[in-house]
Amino acid sequence: MPSLLDQVTRKLHPTSDSPALDAQVLLAHITEKQRSWVLAHPELSLSPKQRIKLEAALQALLQGIPLPYVLGHWEFYGLDFLVSPDVLIPRPETEELVEFGLGWLRDNKSRTVLEMGTGSGCIAIALAKNIPDLKLLAVDLSSAALDIARQNAAIHWVDDQIQFIHSDLFSNLQPATFDLITANLPYIPSETLKTLDVYTREPSLALDGGKDGLQLIRRLLLDAPQWLAPDGLILLELDSSHVQAALKLASTIFPKSVIQLKQDLAGRDRFLAVQT
């Protein structure tokens, strides 16, 4: 008879690109064990209560609900974050944004950060956890997302380092300057988004970048000069399809700055860095 892990993997085949991995993660969540433990115990069986939880989770997954929302949490940069359908699911490529930001902050001994579009708070919290004297302002248009972000900050004991603000970009902020302004703003063109599976699975507010995908990024870059400290850095995640347009825009707004494109682990242009 197939193991429970094999049975769950088979059930997930129709809806998952990685059914074996998803089955491992799901069973680890249900049993409150490590994924390595699940792999090492093919004889695993569940209690009646655990079986009910598994069936409910499988039903949700087969209806198209993403695994992180079913679990209620997801890992990012080695940290576990609460997630809900009100926030974008943290992506591995965004960990590179954190890596670039940490490297620059440490090299420049800079200690003030503004993050736009914080969502679950994963970027701000990862930065704060790795630089204990960092002070951050994290902004989002969604009150529901900010509720999740505040919970995550408290869970990771960095809520004293991060102030969360409900704002449409800079509109509700008090005048200040920041060493680093960073963002993973919505950047998928509206018409493109409607053709993607993610359109019905994650919040459009966190995905829709307007007609050309640069609507919010353009607004941020236009307003950023008055908020960026001298010798500061703007670090943005972009879609590879419009990095050249963003590069041209940044060059117009910051003609005297050093502007670079940085690649993700797959070698694609993914991040825009503007060093004033």
Least Cα distance to 100 among 182, 192, 24 occurs for 182
Q: What is the pLDDT of residue 219?
A: 96
Do 221 and 250 touch, CB atoms closer than 8 A? yes
Q: What are phi and psi of 268, to 5 degrees?
A: -90, 145
- Is 209 known as a binding-site position? no
- Is 120 known as a binding-site position? yes
C-alpha separations of 265 from 93, 100, 125, 198, 206 in Å: 7, 12, 22, 22, 23
- Dmax over CA atoms of the chain, in Å, equals 68
Cα separation, 219 vs 224, in Å, equals 8
Tokens describing residue 73 = 């949490």
C-alpha separations of 155 from 78, 82, 125, 152, 160 in Å: 14, 9, 10, 5, 12
Q: What is the pLDDT of residue 163?
A: 98
Q: What is the pLDDT of residue 255?
A: 94
Q: What is the pLDDT of residue 2?
A: 85
- Is 232 known as a binding-site position? no
Do 38 and 27 touch, CB atoms closer than 8 A? yes
Cα separation, 219 vs 113, in Å, equals 18
Q: What is the pTM of this model?
A: 0.93
| pLDDT tens, residue order, the chain (276 aa) | 789 999 999 999 988 889 999 999 999 999 999 999 999 998 899 999 999 999 999 999 999 999 999 999 999 999 999 999 999 999 999 999 999 999 999 999 889 999 999 999 999 999 999 999 999 999 999 999 999 999 999 999 999 999 999 999 999 999 999 999 999 998 877 887 777 777 778 788 787 778 888 999 999 999 999 999 999 999 999 988 888 999 999 999 999 999 999 998 889 999 999 999
Q: What is the pLDDT of residue 167?
A: 97
Q: What is the pLDDT of residue 242?
A: 86
Sign of CA dihedral 154, 157, 161, 162: negative
- Is 45 known as a binding-site position? no
Domains and CATH numbers, the chain: 4-71 (1.10.8.10), 94-275 (3.40.50.150)
C-alpha separations of 191 from 236, 241, 243 in Å: 22, 14, 18
